[in-house]
Amino acid sequence: MKKIKEVVVLQDEGGKFSFNKIIFILLIFAILLYFVLNTNISFFLDINKFINPYIGFFEKLLVVLIILLLTYLFLNVSKKLLKGYLTRSGRSKRNIKLFLTIYEYFVWFVAIILTFSIVLKQGASLITSIGLIGFGLTLALQKPISEFRGMACNYF
What is the distance, to the nearest Å, from the Cα of residue 75 to the centroid of all Cα atoms in its chain?
8
Cβ-proximal residues to 106 (8 Å cutoff; 6+ apart), any chain = none
Length of the chain: 156
Per cent of the chain over pLDDT 90 is 13
**Higher per-residue confidence, 41 vs 8:** 41
CB 50 within 8 Å of CB 75: no
Nearest Cα to Cα of residue 85 among 96, 75, 74: 96
Q: Is the pLDDT of residue 52 over 80?
A: no
pLDDT at 69: 84
How far is residue 146's CA from residue 143's CA, in Å, rounded to a whole number? 5
Task: State the average pLDDT over residues 96-107.
Answer: 91
pLDDT, tens digit, 9 for 90 and up, residues 107-149: 998 888 888 777 777 667 777 888 888 888 888 888 887 777 7
pLDDT, tens digit, 9 for 90 and up, residues 68-90: 888 988 998 999 999 999 899 88
Q: H/E element holding 151? A: helix 142-155
Which of 2-11, 14-23, 41-50, 98-107 has the largest mean confidence?
98-107
Confidence category of residue 24, pLDDT binned at 50, 70, 90: confident
Q: What's the number of CA atoms in the CB half-sphere (13 Å) around residue 132? A: 6
Quick one: 26 exposed, middle or buried, by C-beta within 10 A (0-12, 13-18, 19+)?
A: middle
Cβ-proximal residues to 118 (8 Å cutoff; 6+ apart), any chain = 63, 67
